[in-house]
Amino acid sequence: MKSLVRAHRLKLGVVFDGGQLLSGMSVAENIALPLRYHRELSPDELAARVNDLLKQMDLATMADRTPGQIGRAWQQRAGLARAMALQPEVLLLDSPLTGLDVRHANWWLGFLDQLSHGHRWMNGRPMTLVVTADDFRPGAVARRSCVCCQIRVSRNWATGLRWKRAACRRAAKGRTRRLLRDVWLDSFRS
C-alpha cells in the first residue's frame, strides 16, 4: 500500500500560491529537495538537473539566494521548478498568476502552454494541468478547459471557444480552491 501511495505522489507536482519555498535554503537547494528525497542521483547528475531547471525558469542568477532575497514572482517560479523536478504527469497549481505583473503573467501563460503541449523538460510529453484560480487566463491556452463549481464541472469547452464570464465569476468565488485539496486527498485514498 505504501509503495502505491508513493507512486501516486511521484506523479503529482504541486505549485503552492507564492511558491512556499523553505526560507532557510537557497533557491537551488529548494529545487533539489524532491530529487534528494526521491531519486538516487550522483552529485553531478543532481547539479545538472537543478541547473537545467534554473535555466528553464530564468532563475540561474538567483540560485544561491534565499527566498527572502527574491521577489514573489521569482519565488513562484522556483516553486514551479521544484514541482517539475520529478517530471510529474499532473501539475497542480494554486493561483499561479495571482499578484504577478504583466511580464511574469505572460511568462507563466507561455510556459503552461508549452507544458500542456509537450515541453522539452517532459521529453515532449504533454502534462495535465489542474489550476485553481480567480484569473482564468490559463484556460485560454489549454486544448480543453473546464470550470468546476462545488467540485462539479459546470462548463466544459474545447479549444477556441470563449470563456463565459458569468461562469467564471461564479467559479472564482473561492469554490475552486477546494478542488486542489480534494484532488490531492483523493489521489491518496485509492
Helix, strand, coil in percent for the chain, rounding step 5: 50, 15, 35
Provide the mean pLDDT of the chain. Answer: 75
- pLDDT at 32 (0 to 100): 94
**Amino acid of residue 98:** T
Confidence at residue 188, expressed as pLDDT on a 0 to 100 scale: 38
How far is the first Cα of the chain from the last one, in angstroms, to the nearest whole number?
10
**Does residue 146 contact residue 157 with C-beta atoms inside 8 Å?**
yes
Q: Which of 160, 153, 58 is nearest to 110 (CA)?
A: 58
DSSP 8-state symbol, 174: T
- What per-residue confidence (pLDDT) applies to 161? 36
Neighbours of 148 (CB within 10 A): 19
Supply the pLDDT for residue 160.
Answer: 38
Nearest CA among 88, 94, 107, 90 for reference residue 19: 94
What is the per-residue pLDDT across 85-112, written as a single tens digit (0 to 9) for each? 988 888 888 888 888 888 998 899 888 8
Q: List the strands of the sheet with 90-94, edge to edge.
A: 12-15, 90-94, 128-132
- The CA distance from 72 to 92, in Å, is 19
Rounded Cα distance between 30 and 24, Å, is 9
List C-alpha distances in Å: 19 to 79, 90, 122, 169: 4, 17, 21, 25
Q: What is the pTM of this model?
A: 0.74
CATH 3.30.1330.20 fits 2-189, yes or no: no
pLDDT confidence of residue 62: 95
Enumerate the domain spans of the chain.
Answer: 2-189
- Per-residue pLDDT of 115-151, as tens digits, reads 888 877 777 788 888 887 666 655 555 566 666 655 5
pLDDT band at 186 (very low <50, low <70, confident <90, very high): very low
